[in-house]
Amino acid sequence: MGGVEVVVEGIVKSFGGNPVIRNATMRAPAGRVTTLLGPSGCGKTTLLKIIAGLLFPDSGRVLFNGRDVTRVPPEKRNIGMVFQDLALFPHLNVYDNVAFGLKARRIPENEVRRRVFRALELVSLNPGTFAFRRVTELSGGQRQRVALARTIVIEPEVLLLDEPLAHLDFKVKQRLLREIKRLQRGLGITTIYVTHDQTEAMEVGDHIAIMNEGKVVQEGEPEEVYERPADSFVASFFGDANIVELGAEGLVAVRPEDVIVNPDNGNADYRIPGVVEDKVFQGALVRLEIRVDTGRETVIKALVPKGSGSYSPGQKVIVGWKREAMKPLRE
């Protein structure tokens, strides 16, 4: 299987006169995972459905390797899609669920069997154990794997995943994220993964596009977006950030892990007195919330190593950071 570059240009979509997508532009590099990240209601699923051909935009274009597919129906785009609710057929067993798309394409039965068994193996479901079980007998994680197998068995060029792990517990989700990444790397399918969970986005994404209010506000490599957020929304939504107004410096973001509590002389370029408001134990780290006054009252979040100091609410401290830790922002 091979991947294609997916580009959306200037997509606009309204429902009943209400704009949902507002001039959205983004690129999903060929053969990689692009995470489409944003808060609930920002238009992620609508944009994914436009890429899939399940919806047509009011204006703008969708390109697969430079080919305009904006008005091409989904069955002619060679895409696979996994929905949040999985949409498995409860009256069919695992084999027939996975085989459904192949049988619809009138693939010979011996080839269907070969491809179904291979797809099950790729998602770590032993065909001998699982192929003829009813999907109602499976766990949530196993049903998720069946949905992935049903999608990859048709050998799509583009794989679209719409919050596929939303209803799973943390440990199962972590295991499946690793499986999705392993599967995608092995097959080289261009994948667009929709989520509102920044941890998922960082775990699985090679490329990240962040949406807000119907627009793609920033995209790039995860580390690039994290280190150089375009605005205060990106800084706060993708990772945690302190948004601080610093006079001549203007509006800046400082990550909690870059905040130094009670810095030594020369250890920080900026130093502000404050009072500890809250302390939360997080295993190897302790999260402090410290109220400071920078012209207006602001709460600074800091992550400090466990055992690095004894802090308690009401305690006076100094917070500081290096100049290079500040990330200039537009509003």
Q: What does 217-261 look like in DSSP terms, one character per residue?
A: EEEE-HHHHHHS-SBHHHHHHSS--EEEE-GGG-EEEE-GGG-EE
Domain end (from 216, 232, 248): 232
Domains held by the chain: number: 2
Q: What percent of the chain has pLDDT over 70?
A: 99
Cβ atoms 79, 159 nearer than 8 A: yes
Last residue of a domain, one of 213, 232, 251: 232
Q: What are residue 272's DSSP bridge partners?
A: 319
Buried b (16+ CB within 10 A) or exposed e, 246-281: eeeeebbbbbbebbbbbbeeeebebebebebeebee
Confidence of residue 173 (pLDDT cuts 50, 70, 90): confident
Q: Give dist(CA 118, CA 133) in Å, integer.
A: 17
Q: Work out the number of other CB atoms within 10 angstroms of the CB of residue 320.
A: 22
CATH assignment at residue 249: 2.40.50.100
Same domain, 198 and 251: no
Query: What average pLDDT score do residues 286-297 get?
Result: 87
Three-class secondary structure of residue 84 per DSSP: coil
State residue 331's pLDDT score. Answer: 65
Q: In which band, very low, low, confident or very high, does the pLDDT at 1 lie, cut at 50, 70 and 90?
A: very low
At 18-34, the pLDDT tens digits run 999 999 999 999 999 99
Say whether both 253 and 170 belong to one domain: no
For residue 205, being part of any structural domain is answered with: yes
Last residue of a domain, one of 197, 232, 267: 232
Q: pLDDT band for 67, please (50, 70, 90 cuts).
A: very high
Mean pLDDT of 65-81: 94
DSSP symbol at 271: E
In 3D, which of 92, 110, 72 has the Cα closest to residue 150? 92
Domain coverage including residue 88: 6-232
CATH code of the domain containing 179? 3.40.50.300
d(CA 151, CA 193): 14
Q: Name the average pLDDT for the chain.
A: 92
Write the CB contacts of 100 (distance below 8 Å, at least 6 apart in sequence).
Answer: 89, 92, 150
pLDDT at 259 over 70: yes
Same domain, yes or no, for 258 and 190? no
Per the domain annotation, does 1 fall within a domain? no
8-state DSSP, 1: -
